[in-house]
Structures are given as C-alpha cells and as structure tokens.
Amino acid sequence: VAAAMAEGEGRGLVSVDYEVSGRVQGVFFRKYTQGEAKRLGLVGWVQNTSHGTVQGQIQGPTARVRELQEWLRKTGSPQSRISRAEFSNEKEIAALEHTDFQILK
C-alpha cells in the first residue's frame, strides 16, 4: 500500500523551467546539473545566460523533478554559491519532449 501511495505523486510527468542566480558560471554548474538530472532519470537542458545565471528546463516524473528543484535551490556544484533558484511555466505533459539532458552552449 505504501508503494502505491508514494507512486501517487510520481506518476504524472511535469515540465518546469528554471533559472539559478549566484556564482553559478565557471564552477562546473552545468556539468553537475546534467549529472544529477541523469542520475534522477530526468530529461531537459541547461545553459549559461549572458547575464551570469544558469537556466534550463527539467522534465520527468513529478517526484524526481522536485528532487532536482531542491538540488538546484540548495546544492549545486561544489564550488557554486546559489543565491536564488526560480521556477516557472510548470505544467503537466503527456510525454517527454527531450530524449536526454543536454548542456546547451
């Protein structure tokens, strides 16, 4: 029964955009984000912006997406200093729109 309960939130797929501010460029933030996303089985992308932040999109089971959101908010790469993580455009999706998690230039 517990497994079925835990499955409840994780069944639907969601897509969410994110932008992380702080010391997040030049500290392997994208590489670590990609590694964490792959570990969680998520798809999407990450890229540096011209104004010193890192942005991207995450897609996957709701519970796993929440885990990566928490990681983006609090953890990041070892050398990073996260001041803010903003999430937007969250929506349920019927199918994943990406095949893997990519670092975009």
The yes-or-no answer on residue 48 being catalytic is: yes
Give the residue-averaged pLDDT of 32-54. Answer: 98
Domain membership flag for residue 6:
no
The yes-or-no answer on residue 30 being catalytic is: yes
Domain membership flag for residue 21:
yes
Domain membership flag for residue 17:
yes
Domain membership flag for residue 95:
yes
Domain membership flag for residue 3:
no
* 51-101 pLDDT, tens digit each: 999 999 999 999 999 999 999 999 999 999 999 999 999 999 999 999 999
Antiparallel, parallel or unpaired: β 81-93 and 43-48: unpaired
Domain that holds residue 24: 13-103
CB contact at 8 A, 42 and 70: no
Catalytic residue, candidates 11, 23, 39, 48 = 48
Domain membership flag for residue 1:
no
Catalytic residue, candidates 11, 23, 30, 64 = 30
Positive or negative, the Cα torsion across 77, 63, 15, 19? negative
- Structural domains of the chain, count: 1
Give the CATH number for residue 44: 3.30.70.100
Distance CA 58, CA 14 (A): 8
Closest CA to 29 of 64, 87, 75: 75
* 1-24 pLDDT, tens digit each: 444 444 444 469 999 999 999 999
Domain membership flag for residue 22:
yes
- Can you give the pLDDT at residue 6? 45
